[in-house]
């Protein structure tokens, strides 16, 4: 029986080679100068580079706003969809997921074109709209998943025991659905910070996000600085996953 655990060996080797080694390389490049010598210069450059810092701040801002809007818009939608009283068919949730199968760049470009046709100037507002548009399904689905599997009797019991429906919702339903919200946040927040291309198309290149400067540096062969920026992002990912540690077991809740 225990011999079959060896079956994972090829995959472990694969993971080491294509996941662990590349991440180590990101760190190595981040702490090297162009000649391959050790340096802290790349990170120092980031913390003194006003453009990189402000791009970083803007990305965090947009990502927070996007995540917030996705929760605000997505939670009620997920709640309605999970509620048998309002929605009887599973088809509606499929309708929310289906646009994700169409190439994201193409959808984004069409959105941008729609805005220009309506005479809206491309900028911060259109960027946020486009981001919410792209990421809303990623928020709705995990919340829906948790809500629809949730035992409704808890909330009903709370109401029976004299709580107002509103209070029962806040004290029972919302806390129980938190795993769905967290995995939604995971799927919206970091990807927003790191998008490139989408932000450019939605603002005519006026606002760029953190992903774009990583891409620009890598593409103009400033690998070391690009790696340092990627390293900064890895640290933030590390922090966000630490936050999520308590609910580790539930992360798989999401996705299709």
Residue of 31, 42, 46, 55 that binds other proteins (CB under 8 A): 55
Q: Does 114 bind other proteins (CB under 8 A)?
A: yes
Which of 33, 40, 44, 54 contacts other proteins by CB under 8 A? 54
Ramachandran angles phi, psi of 38, nearest 5°: -65, 135
Query: How many H helices and E strands in the chain?
Result: 13, 0
CB 189 within 8 A of CB 240: yes
Q: Is the sign of the CA dihedral 85, 86, 91, 96 positive or negative?
A: negative
Nearest distance, CB of residue 158 and other proteins, angstroms: 16
The residues, ordered by sequence, that sit 6+ positions from 43 with a Cβ below 8 Å of its Cβ are 30, 31, 228, 231, 232
Q: Does 51 bind other proteins (CB under 8 A)?
A: yes
Token pair for residue 108? 């984004």
Q: What is the 3-state secondary structure (H, E, C) of 178-223?
A: HHHHHHHHHHHHHHHHHCCCHHHHHHCCCCCCHHHHHHHHHHCCCH
Shortest distance, CB of residue 210 to other proteins, whole angstroms?
A: 9
Rank residues 107 and 150 by Cβ distance to other proteins and give the closer one. 107
Region of 145-153, 154-162, 165-173, 215-223 interacting with other proteins (CB under 8 A): 215-223
Find the binding residues for other proteins in span 69-88 (CB under 8 A): 73, 76-77, 80-81, 83, 85-87
Q: What's the CA angle centered on 139, arms 244 and 56, to 5 degrees? A: 65
In whole angstroms, give the CA distance from residue 29 to residue 186: 27
With CB under 8 A as the contact rule, the residue among 182, 227, 228, 253 that binds other proteins is 227
Does residue 164 belong to the site contacting other proteins (CB under 8 A)?
no
Q: Which segment (141-149, 152-160, 161-169, 217-225) binds other proteins by CB under 8 A?
A: 217-225
Please state the closest distance from residue 124 (CB atom) to other proteins, in A: 8
Nearest distance, CB of residue 191 and other proteins, angstroms: 5
List the one residue from 84, 88, 106, 153 that touches other proteins (CB under 8 A). 106
Please pick, from the candidates 39, 43, 71, 100, the single residue that binds other proteins as defined by CB under 8 A. 100
Residue 78's nearest CA partner among 195, 198, 183 is 183
Count of residues interacting with other proteins (CB under 8 A)? 108
| By the rule CB under 8 A, 120 interacts with other proteins | no
Could you give the string, one character per residue 233-252, with x where binding to other proteins holds by CB under 8 A and - elsewhere?
xx--x---x---------xx
According to DSSP, residue 38 is labeled B
């Amino acid at each position: 029986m225990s011999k079959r655990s060896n079956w994972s060996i090829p995959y472990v080797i694969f993971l080491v080679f294509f996941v662990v080694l590349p991440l180590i390389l990101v760190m190595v490049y981040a702490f090297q100068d162009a000649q391959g010598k050790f340096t802290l210069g790349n990170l120092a450059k980031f913390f003194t580079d006003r453009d990189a810092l402000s791009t970083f701040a803007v990305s965090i801002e947009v990502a927070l706003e996007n995540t917030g809007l996705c929760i605000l818009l997505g939670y009620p939608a997920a709640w309605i969809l999970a509620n048998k009283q309002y929605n009887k068919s599973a088809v509606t949730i499929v309708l929310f997921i289906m646009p994700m199968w169409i190439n994201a760049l193409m959808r984004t470009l069409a959105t941008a074109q729609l805005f220009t046709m309506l005479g809206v100037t491309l900028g911060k507002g259109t960027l946020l709209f486009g981001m919410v548009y792209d990421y809303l399904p990623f928020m709705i689905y995990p919340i829906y998943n948790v809500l629809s599997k949730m035992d409704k009797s808890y909330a009903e019991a709370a109401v029976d025991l004299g709580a107002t429906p509103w209070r029962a919702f806040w004290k029972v339903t919302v806390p129980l659905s938190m795993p769905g919200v967290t995995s939604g946040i995971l799927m919206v927040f970091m990807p927003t910070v790191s998008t490139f291309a989408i932000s450019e198309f939605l603002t005519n290149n006026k606002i760029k996000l953190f992903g774009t400067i990583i891409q620009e540096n890598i593409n103009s062969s400033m690998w070391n600085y690009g790696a340092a920026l990627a390293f900064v992002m890895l640290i933030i990912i590390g922090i966000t996953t630490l936050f999520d540690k308590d609910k580790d077991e539930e992360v798989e809740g999401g996705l299709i």
